[in-house]
Every structure is written in structure tokens, then in C-alpha cells.
Chains A and B, each alone.
Chain A
Amino acid sequence: MIHKIQTLPRAIQAIVFGALVFGCCGIPILGDTSPEDDVRRFLVGYADSHQADVADTHYAVGFVDLNRDGINEAVVYLTGRYWCGTGGCQTLVLARSGRTFRLVGRILATRLPIRALDRTTHGWRVLTARVRGAELTGSRRSFLSMVRDTPRPRLRG
């Protein structure tokens, strides 16, 4: 499923984002929310910091433990004009950081499906995604190995 990040006006987004991150009336909220909600909040801030059109930013997310620490990372496939070109779209790898997520990896111009292999590099499972392979001939497609790739469950497209 592809999600739409936000359709609220930007000013309201900022208020909602701030309230969710910092809590309202001294009551922390983030710990009570789902990983999906936390990813969404991260992405609103991420898109905003890139001056991307938040309303035109969509994403699919999958969760998997990539570094075998018992905590799932989030693999996010961003779509929308700002994030995609003819080569594909951006994939982000996010790790838990307290009550939110932080960016630990970004892979440009990827296409679904994205898979996490059992093989590891520097302690992180290797991710694969489909990419354009001009080195290949005809209609063959290559799979590019990427450190910190995605969950075994495919990101939903």
C-alpha cells in the first residue's frame, strides 16, 4: 500500500508534527504510537527539510531487523516527483532512535521489489533492489546489492 504523507496545510502540519514529537501539555505522546506513525512523522519532517512537496510525497514501508539487534529498522520507499526520476525512486533506511527514527542510509534510483538477504556486510543485512542495468543486454534486469537493505517482507508497491 502506498501512503500519502500529509494533505493538511503546512502550518497545521508543523503544529501537529511539533505536538506529536514534543508532546502537548507535558504529556509525551510518541511512545504510545505505532512504528508506522513514527515513520510517518519522520517523513513529514524529512520531506519538509528537503523543501519537497509533502502533498506529492508517498511512501511504502517495511520493518525488519537489519543489524540483528532485536529492533526493527524501517525501509521506506519514497515516491513522488521530488523523489523519483527515470532511474527509479529513493529508498531510505531508518533506525530507531529513542522515540523516533533517524536516517542511517539512503539509496538513490531504486525500484521495487526490495529484499533483505541473510548475507551481512559490516553487521548489516544486505539489501537488494531492482535497478536499471545498462551493462546488461536486452531486457535483463540487475539486482544491486546495497548495504542495509530492506526487510524480508517486501515493501508494498
Chain B
Amino acid sequence: MKQGCELSVTWSATNKDCSGDGIFQIDLAHNPSVSQSDAENTLYAAAWAADPLRENMNKLGQMFPNFTPTQLFQATAASYNLGLGGISGIPGTIDVGTRPTQNYGSNVLGIMKCFQ
């Protein structure tokens, strides 16, 4: 991990206040093929989450072709929290409405920098 980056994880895999299980917050009720232990397995969960993220990124790229690559990344991350229908396409308001602190996409971008 890069030194000096700001990594602030405000919730944990066992925080049941989140809507789903594990660090990727997989909703087990709507994804019966995923077990709780799967959801709490970071590698499994990351691979599982990659599919919807990839689909969302493709769709958002089509919906908002003027997004810069960074904005597209931010919107993709935000769509994981809001659903695609919550993304307005306005770069300055990509994160508006995201829970819990209205900065979901930019927060994910910040965390990504720690691993680059």
C-alpha cells in the first residue's frame, strides 16, 4: 500500500448497519447464491462485485460520454451505492445522495489511490 495516502475505512465487514454483508456489502437476501462466508471473503466478494461494476461502467460510459475517466470511475463507484438510476450525469453532483456521507464515489477513488 502506498505510504501517505489517506485510507479511512468507516465500516467493517461485520458492521450490520450496512445493507449487506462483507466489505462489498452484498445483499444476501437478493443474492441467494452468495453465502455469508462468501460475502465476508474479500477475494470472493471483490470478484463478485466486479461484474456489476463493469456493467455499470459500460452503461454509464454510454449514458454520459462526456465524463472524464476519473468522473466515470467515480460515477461507477457511486452507482454501486445508488444504483445506476441515481447517477445524474452532472460531474459536480455524482455523489449526491450516496450513503452514508454523500461522498461514496470520491471516497472510493481516494482509497484506490492507496493501492496504485
Task: Kindly state whether residue B28 has any CB partner on chain A within 8 Å.
Answer: no
Task: Kindly state whether residue A139 has any CB partner on chain B within 8 Å.
Answer: yes
Residue of A nearest to B100 (CB): A134
Task: Kindly state whether residue B7 has any CB partner on chain A within 8 Å.
Answer: no
The interface of chain B, by Cβ under 8 A from chain A, is: 10-11, 15-20, 25, 27, 52, 63, 79-86, 96-101, 104
Task: Kindly state whether residue A88 has any CB partner on chain B within 8 Å.
Answer: yes
Residues of B within 8 A of A132 (CB): 17-19, 99-100
How many A-B pairs have beta carbons closer than 8 Å: the answer is 79
Contact yes or no, A82 B83, CB < 8 A: yes
State in angstroms the CA–CA spacing of A83 and B97 once bound together.
13
State in angstroms the CA–CA spacing of A59 and B65 once bound together.
30
- With contacts A133-B100, A134-B101 taken as known, whether A85 is within 8 angstroms of B17 at the C-beta atoms is no
Residues of B within 8 A of A140 (CB): 17
Choose from B16, B63, B81 the contact partner of A85 (Cβ within 8 Å).
B81
Chain A residues 86 to 127 lying within 8 A of chain B, measured CB to CB, are: 86-90, 107-109, 111
The interface of chain A, by Cβ under 8 A from chain B, is: 50-52, 78, 81-90, 107-109, 111, 131-136, 138-141
Q: How far is the CB of B11 from chain A (nearest CB, A)?
A: 6
Q: How far is the CB of B29 from chain A (nearest CB, A)?
A: 11
Residue of A nearest to B16 (CB): A139
Contact yes or no, A86 B16, CB < 8 A: no
State in angstroms the CA–CA spacing of A111 and B25 once bound together.
15
